[in-house]
C-alpha cells in the first residue's frame, strides 16, 4: 500500500528507523531529538536490542539442537546474520525461521557440520507440527481389517501435523542424543542416512525414525496416490523398501487420519 | 457502583501456568492473551485457551497489528486478529500506540511514533479500520518510550485524548509505561496522569521494569520480567482512588515466575480495586 499524503513524513521516518534497527553498525536515524545528549545512542540501542535479542531468542527456542551443536555463542552470531538478511515478514513470530535451514546451507562458519541444515529442517517441522490443525489419528486396525486384495487401492489420509525429512545424515540419532542425553553420544563410525517422521497426534510432538524410502511413499500419498502405486514408487527409489515397518510406524505415530 | 459489578484484577496467561490454572481454578478475575500467539491452526495453544476461556473472561491484546504503520496495516493480519476475536469472544480487545512493520518487515518491538497532527490522522484512520473490521470498540495503550522526535506537536496525553475522541476508541492505561517514559524523558508521572483522559480508560496494565545505570545516567526499560515497583503501585492506588476501579492486568512476560507469585500480584491489585469499591458501596 502506498503512503497516504499525510503519512509521507512518518513513512520516511519509519523507513530510516527500520533500516537503522536492522543494520549492523549502530547509527541513530535522523529525526530523533538530539537534545537527548550522550545517551542518544544508548536509547536507540534499546530498540535495536529489543528487536534483535527477541528474534534471536525466538530462533534459539525453536532450534535448540542446532544451538547445542554449534554452541550458544556461534548460534547467536549466526542468528544475528540471519535476522539481518532475512528479517521477519509476519507479526506472527511462530512463522519466523522457515528459511533458517536454507540459510545454514550457505553459512561458511558451520560448513564442517554438513548435517546442520537437516537438523534445522527437523526442528522447524516440530514447530510447524505444534501449531498445525488438529485431527484424530486412525488406528492401524483399519488397515489390518482390510481384505488383502483391497490394500493396493487403499487411500491413506495424512495427518495435518505430520512431516517427513529424509537426510543423507543420521538426523534422528543426532537429534535424539542432543535432546535427551546429558552428554551427547559420539556419532557411529558408519554414518548412514536417516528419515525422520514428525507427528503431533494430540498435544505432544514426537520424532520417529522411518525406513529408507518412506519419504517417497509419503510424498506419493500426499499426492493422493493409492497405497499400491505409492509402494511401487518407494520400492523403485529404494530397493529394500520396508513397507510393513513404514506402515506400522506411520499408524503407530499417529501420522494417518483416514483410510478409504 | 455495586460491589458485585466491581472491575476485577487479572493475569497475563502464560503457557507455563495453563495446566495449573485448569486444575486449581484460581480465584482471579480474568486472563489476557497476546492475539498473535493464537493465530496458528491448532495445537496446544488453542487446546488450553478453549478450556480456560470456558472458565474465565478473556481479554485479547494485540502486539503485531502495527496501528502506527505509515504504509498501512497488513489486511491479512487484521483478518487473523478478527478470527481470534470471533473465536474467543473477549470482553476487551486492545492494541498499542506504536508501529512495528514497515517496508513489509516486522520489527518485533513496539516502536515509537512522533506525536503530530499527521500521525494522529493516520492512527485514527487505522483504529477506525480495525474497529470497523472487528465490529467493536478497541482500546489503545500508551507506550513506554526511550526516544522522542523532532517536530512533535503535542504531548502524549493530548494525542491519546484526541485519538479517543476522533476514533471512539477506549484507552488502556499502562501505569508502568508512564513511569518508564517519565524516567526516560524526565517528566513527572503524576503530572502526566493528571492530564490523562481517564474517562476513556477501560483497562489498566501493571508490570515490572528494569533500571539501567551507566556512566551516571539512568534509563528505565519496560521488561515485564519482575515484580511491580513501589512507585507503580502507589500511582495505581492514586489513579483508582481518584477515577474509580478499572479491570486491571498484571503483565509478567519474561522470567515467568511460579503461578503463586503472579497470583500474589493479582491479589494485591484486587485489594486496591476492592478498597475503592467498598468505599463507593458505603457512599452509595
DSSP letter for B35, please.
G
Residue B214: strand, helix, or coil: strand
Measured CA to CA, the distance from residue A201 to residue A199 in angstroms comes to 6
Residue of B nearest to A204 (CA): B44
**Percentage above 70 pLDDT, chain B:** 96
DSSP codes joined into one string, B90-151: -SEEEEES-EEEETTEEEEEEE----SHHHHHHHHHHHHHHHHHHTS--EEEPPP-S--BTT
Q: b/e string for B256-280 if b means 16 or more Cβ within 10 A?
A: bbebeebbebbebbbebbbebbeee
The residue of B106, B129, B187, B216 whose CB has the most chain A CBs within 10 angstroms, and thus the best one to mutate to test that interface, is B106
Find out whether A195 and A211 touch, Cβ atoms under 8 Å.
yes
Report chain B's mean pLDDT, rounded to a whole number.
95
C-alpha to C-alpha distances, A37 to A33, A42, B147, B219, nearest whole angstrom: 9, 10, 11, 13
**Predicted pLDDT of residue B223:** 94
Given a cut of 50, whether residue B2 has pLDDT beyond it is: no
* A–B CB contacts, 8 A cutoff, strictly below: 155
More confident residue, A187 or B266: B266
Measured CA to CA, the distance from residue A135 to residue A121 in angstroms comes to 23
Lowest mean pLDDT among A40-54, A115-129, B26-40: A40-54
Report chain A's mean pLDDT, rounded to a whole number.
93
Given a cut of 80, whether residue A243 has pLDDT beyond it is: yes
Q: With a CB-CB cutoff of 8 Å, which residues 49-78 of chain B face chain A? A: 63-66, 68-72, 74, 77
The verdict on a CB contact (< 8 Å) between A91 and B77 is: yes
Residues of A in contact with B214 (CB under 8 A): 42
Find out whether B196 and B156 touch, Cβ atoms under 8 Å.
no
The residue whose grid cell reads 537503522 is A20
A131 contact B CB<8A? yes
Work out the minimum CA distance from B263 to partner chain A, whole angstroms.
Answer: 26
**Predicted pLDDT of residue A64:** 98
Multiple choice CATH, B3-283, 3.40.50.10470, 3.30.300.30, 3.20.20.150, 3.50.50.60: 3.20.20.150
Average of per-residue pLDDT across B241-269: 97
The band of A8, judged by pLDDT with boundaries at 50, 70 and 90, is: low
For chain A, give the number of residues: 260
Domain ranges for chain A: 8-113, 134-260
Domain ranges for chain B: 3-283
* pLDDT tens digits, B220-250: 999 999 999 999 999 999 999 999 999 999 9
DSSP codes joined into one string, A4-65: PGGGHHHHHHHHHHHHHHHSSS--PPTTB-GGGGGGHHHHHHHHHHHHHHHHHHHHHHH-HH
**Predicted pLDDT of residue B1:** 40
C-alpha to C-alpha distances, A132 to A126, A189, B50, B245, nearest whole angstrom: 10, 37, 16, 40
Q: What's the grid cell of residue A108?
A: 561458511
Measured CA to CA, the distance from residue B122 to residue B15 in angstroms comes to 35
Q: With a CB-CB cutoff of 8 Å, which residues 222-241 of chain A face chain B? A: none
The verdict on a CB contact (< 8 Å) between B107 and A39 is: no
The band of A3, judged by pLDDT with boundaries at 50, 70 and 90, is: very low
Which residues make Cβ contacts (< 8 Å) with residue A149, sequence separation at least 6?
A: none
**Predicted pLDDT of residue B3:** 42
Work out the minimum CA distance from B170 to partner chain A, whole angstroms.
Answer: 23
**Predicted pLDDT of residue B215:** 79
Query: Residue B92 pairs with which residues in a beta bridge?
Result: B59
Q: What are phi and psi of A210, to 5 degrees?
A: -105, 155
Of B44, B109, B125, the CB nearest to A51: B109
Query: Residue A156 pairs with which residues in a beta bridge?
Result: A259
Work out the minimum CA distance from A217 to partner chain B, whole angstroms.
Answer: 26
The verdict on a CB contact (< 8 Å) between A88 and B102 is: no
C-alpha to C-alpha distances, B214 to A38, A41, B21, nearest whole angstrom: 11, 13, 41
**Predicted pLDDT of residue B284:** 44
B183 contact A CB<8A? no
* pLDDT tens digits, A170-226: 999 999 999 998 887 776 667 899 999 999 999 999 999 999 999 999 999 999 999
Measured CA to CA, the distance from residue A116 to residue B161 in angstroms comes to 53
Work out the minimum CA distance from A30 to partner chain B, whole angstroms.
Answer: 9
Q: With a CB-CB cutoff of 8 Å, which residues 116-135 of chain B face chain A? A: 116, 118-119, 121-122, 125
B107 contact A CB<8A? yes
H or E element at residue B218: strand B217-221
More confident residue, B38 or B276: B38
Residues of A in contact with B149 (CB under 8 A): 13, 31-33
Given a cut of 50, whether residue A253 has pLDDT beyond it is: yes
Which residues make Cβ contacts (< 8 Å) with residue B136, sequence separation at least 6?
A: B85, B93
Find out whether B272 and B236 touch, Cβ atoms under 8 Å.
yes
**Predicted pLDDT of residue A6:** 44
The band of B280, judged by pLDDT with boundaries at 50, 70 and 90, is: low
The verdict on a CB contact (< 8 Å) between A91 and B217 is: no
The band of A58, judged by pLDDT with boundaries at 50, 70 and 90, is: very high
B254 contact A CB<8A? no
The verdict on a CB contact (< 8 Å) between A15 and B103 is: yes
Predicted ipTM > 0.85: yes
The CA-based angle B272-B204-A17, given to 5 degrees, is 145
Measured CA to CA, the distance from residue A170 to residue A105 in angstroms comes to 17
B252 contact A CB<8A? no
The residue of B50, B78, B102 whose CB has the most chain A CBs within 10 angstroms, and thus the best one to mutate to test that interface, is B102
Residue A153: strand, helix, or coil: helix
State whether the Cα torsion A90-A93-A99-A104 is positive or negative.
Answer: positive
C-alpha to C-alpha distances, B119 to A79, A240, B159, nearest whole angstrom: 34, 66, 9
The verdict on a CB contact (< 8 Å) between B214 and A42 is: yes
Which residues make Cβ contacts (< 8 Å) with residue A211, sequence separation at least 6?
A: A195, A241, A242, A245, A246, A249
* pLDDT tens digits, B81-133: 999 999 999 999 999 999 999 999 999 999 999 999 999 999 999 999 999 99
Q: With a CB-CB cutoff of 8 Å, which residues 159-178 of chain A face chain B? A: 160-161
Amino acid at each position: 500500500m502506498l503512503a497516504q499524503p499525510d503519512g509521507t513524513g512518518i513513512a520516511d521516518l519509519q523507513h530510516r528507523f527500520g533500516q537503522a534497527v536492522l543494520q549492523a553498525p549502530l547509527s541513530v536515524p535522523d529525526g530523533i531529538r538530539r537534545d537527548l545528549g550522550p545517551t542518544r545512542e544508548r536509547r536507540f540501542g534499546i530498540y535495536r536490542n529489543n528487536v534483535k535479542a527477541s528474534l534471536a531468542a525466538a530462533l534459539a527456542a525453536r532450534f535448540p539442537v542446532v544451538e547445542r551443536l554449534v554452541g550458544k555463542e556461534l548460534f547467536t552470531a549466526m542468528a544475528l546474520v540471519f535476522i539481518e538478511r532475512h528479517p521477519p515478514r509476519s507479526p506472527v513470530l511462530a512463522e519466523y525461521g522457515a528459511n533458517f535451514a536454507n540459510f545454514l546451507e550457505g553459512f561458511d562458519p558451520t560448513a564442517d557440520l554438513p548435517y546442520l541444515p537437516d537438523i534445522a529442517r527437523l526442528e522447524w517441522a516440530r514447530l510447524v507440527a505444534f501449531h498445525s490443525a488438529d485431527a484424530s489419528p486412525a488406528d492401524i486396525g483399519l488397515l489390518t481389517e482390510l481384505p488383502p486384495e483391497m490394500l493396493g487401492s487403499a487411500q491413506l489420509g495424512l495427518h495435518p501435523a505430520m512431516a517427513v525429512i529424509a537426510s543423507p545424515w543420521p538426523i534422528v540419532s543426532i537429534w535424539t542424543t542432543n535432546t535427551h542425553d546429558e552428554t551427547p553420544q559420539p556419532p557411529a563410525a558408519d554414518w548412514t542416512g536417516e528419515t525422520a517422521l514428525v507427528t503431533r497426534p494430540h498435544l505432544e510432538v514426537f520424532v520417529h525414525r522411518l525406513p529408507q524410502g518412506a519419504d517417497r511413499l509419503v510424498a506419493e500419498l500426499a499426492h493422493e496416490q493409492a497405497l499400491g502405486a505409492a509402494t511401487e514408487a518407494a520400492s523403485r527409489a529404494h530397493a529394500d523398501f520396508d513397507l510393513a515397518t513404514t506402515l506400522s510406524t506411520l499408524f503407530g505415530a499417529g501420522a494417518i487420519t483416514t483410510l478409504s | 457502583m455495586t460491589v458485585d459489578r466491581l472491575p476485577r484484577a487479572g493475569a497475563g496467561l502464560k503457557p507455563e501456568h495453563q495446566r495449573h490454572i485448569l486444575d486449581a481454578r484460581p480465584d482471579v478475575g480474568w486472563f489476557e492473551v497476546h492475539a498473535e500467539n493464537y493465530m496458528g491452526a491448532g495445537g496446544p495453544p488453542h487446546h488450553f485457551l478453549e478450556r480456560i476461556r470456558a472458565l474465565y473472561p478473556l481479554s485479547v491484546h494485540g502486539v503485531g497489528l502495527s496501528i502506527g504503520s505509515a504504509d498501512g496495516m497488513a489486511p491479512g493480519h487484521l483478518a487473523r486478529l478478527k478470527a481470534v476475536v470471533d473465536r474467543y469472544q473477549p470482553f476487551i480487545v486492545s492494541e498499542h500506540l506504536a508501529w512495528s512493520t514497515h517496508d513489509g518487515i516486522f520489527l518485533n518491538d513496539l516502536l515509537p511514533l512522533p506525536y503530530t497532527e499527521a500521525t494522529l490522522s493516520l492512527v485514527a484512520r487505522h483504529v477506525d479500520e480495525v474497529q470497523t473490521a472487528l465490529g467493536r470498540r478497541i482500546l489503545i495503550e500508551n507506550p513506554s518510550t526511550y526516544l522522542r522526535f523532532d517536530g512533535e506537536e503535542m504531548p502524549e496525553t493530548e494525542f491519546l485524548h484526541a485519538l479517543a475522541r476522533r476514533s471512539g476508541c477506549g484507552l488502556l492505561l499502562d501505569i508502568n509505561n508512564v513511569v518508564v517514559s517519565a524516567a526516560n524523558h524526565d517528566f513527572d508521572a503524576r503530572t502526566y496522569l493528571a492530564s490523562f483522559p481517564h474517562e476513556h480508560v477501560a483497562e489498566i496494565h501493571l508490570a515490572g521494569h528494569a533500571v539501567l545505570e551507566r556512566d551516571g545516567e539512568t534509563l528505565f526499560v519496560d521488561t515485564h520480567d519482575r515484580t511491580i515497583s513501589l512507585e507503580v503501585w502507589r500511582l495505581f492506588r492514586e489513579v483508582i482512588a481518584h477515577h474509580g476501579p478499572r479491570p486491571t492486568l498484571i503483565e509478567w512476560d519474561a522470567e515467568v515466575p511460579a503461578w503463586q507469585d503472579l497470583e500474589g500480584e493479582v491479589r494485591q491489585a484486587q485489594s486496591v480495586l476492592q478498597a475503592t469499591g467498598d468505599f463507593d458501596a458505603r457512599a452509595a
